[in-house]
Structure 1
Amino acid sequence: MKLQHKIAGTILLPLAAAAMSTTAHAEFSFGGYVAAEFSMDSTSVDGGSDTNDTSGSAVKSRFNLKKTNIGSSNATILFEGDYYGNGNQGNLRMRHALVMVDGWKIGQTWSSAANLNGILPTVDFVGLTGTSVYANRHPMIARTMDMGGAKLSFGVEDWGKGTAGTDGPNIPDLAAGLSANMGGASLFAGAALVNTNDSKGENTTYAHLTASAKVAVADSMKLVGSVTHTGDDDTGTAEWTAVSAGVGAGLGGGLSANAMAEVKSFGASGSEDQTMVFVNAFYKMPSGLEFGVELQNVTDSYNKTTAKYEDRTNFNVQGKFAF
């Protein structure tokens, strides 16, 4: 019995040591930020009455759990959520849930065609992410390849645009993105083929194309520009092209400022071009506490619910602490 116990121990100990050696370097982190925002909104409706509203919210607060260097493959697992779910009603929302290993991305995260390169910091974190710098998260199985100075990401995604149609192709959404650095410029180009339904309820697809450039013109200043075009079903009601340009600068002493302008043109006949302009400033204290103010103006924004065009002006104030 003693001999058997000793043999078992000599077998199990090396196995346990081997298991520990593959996981001992794994690292776990918990992060995110707590934020509160107050917004003063003024809306002018074409052919209707003007409205003014003031609101406050902490739903943009977020948290994430991350574990890196898992096992011999050095896999990374990330979960991130906030309280912006169900139309900004304070419900928990999943932002990211994915595993990254050997160049694969499986789960939900930024689309391979997400134009993150064209984004400037905003208080309103929706900002331009639905237009010229379209940057949404989708479920996916994707692959990233290092091409020596450039990275190519491509895969199968679900953009959530289509339902069960009566006819035509019914394929997964396909997306790809290429990023590269050339001197002081950061470049990105992305494309997607998205499955949706046309006016007859039949399955169809449309193309989504986007590109951006970010150029450092000084140690603390950068210029950005983006263009995005997306088609839609045969009605043409949602086909649009958006172009934006902006500048961001670090002012020293924890101060920074950004400004951006965008024009969005729709494919439908008789539609108005939509314009957006925002300027903001941030101050980050040595303690890590950050305050931001932002003025945003949108003209000729089409409200699908009221079928009217609106001009909106928003003044936002935010306090945030990242951890």
Structure 2
Amino acid sequence: MTQVKQITFAARPSGLPDASIFRIEEVALPDAKEGELRLRGLFYSVDPYMRGRMNDAKSYVPPFQVGQALEGGVVAEVISSRATGFEPGDVVLGPYLPWRTEMTVPATAVQKIDASIAPPSYYLGVLGMTGLTAYIGLMDIGKPKPGETVVVSGAAGAVGSVVGQIAKHLGCRAVGIAGSDEKGKLLTETFGFDAAINYNEPGLDDRLSTACPNGVDIYFDNVGGEVSDAVMKQLNFFARVPLCGQISMYNATKPPTGPRWQGLMVTRSILMQGFIIRNYAARFREGIEFLAPLVKAGKIKSEETVAEGFEKLPEALLGLFSGKNKGKMIVKA
């Protein structure tokens, strides 16, 4: 057996996590059995949903187990193969692989990726779960039509930045909400949003009205909280609200209170629907076939915040909750 580094989940947090819940240690890596692959991690994804897995609560994906490796999306290289169809040097993607420098996994846990379309790390972002989340949420629930106004919260993040670009590609007006003027500049100058709003500046209601003179037809909600409270006031009749995330509340120690919007939803015939991307596995190919040509042609751009070094994984994950990422947060081994 070989000794490899592992990021271990050391304790469940209460409220905002800190570095004490992680432990970096060496563990024995078993030899690959028939049907298994030995992999070397190249790029590791850190995602907001991981905060929910730190709680010992029933959800759409099992919680992390204390004393075990954390796991997430990993792009890896095949070191050795005991499975048909895989050879050393192949680059693969696994959505739920352990946070280890090397790992032994069933071949069914990964799929090969085509690095000729885009850099391998893109398969953790715009050509991976985040891009598919943007596509499915906007197209399936938002149902955009040319000329409509699409507002995106968390717009400078991995999902939000793709939502706005798809909206623009489909002929919509895209308005992004982010946490700084720097991120706002990124939205308009790099991703092609029509307008950007810094939610940390005063007068959010007035600035939303100015940016959305015809109201809001689709609100892609990644954030929740006070930002969403402000957007809800601007929703048009028959508006659609894809609920993707509520990162403003992930570290709350008790349920927050706020406006109740059910009355508004009734009187304006608003559709609000939450969704989990793993429930749409049958449509992943459709999403990739939509996104890949646009990415390859440079019509949908991807921004990455890349931390160097396997040991940076805990720091990168914690950075999501203070908005340190622009676009997709990735750790390069």
Instruction: Compare the two structures and name the one with the higher strand fraction.
Output: 1
Q: TM-score range by the shorter chain?
A: under 0.3
Q: Taking structure 1 as the reference length, what is the TM-score of the superposition?
A: 0.27
Instruction: Compare the two structures and name the one with the higher helix fraction.
Output: 2
Q: Taking structure 2 as the reference length, what is the TM-score of the superposition?
A: 0.26
Asked which structure has the greater CA Rg, the reply is 1
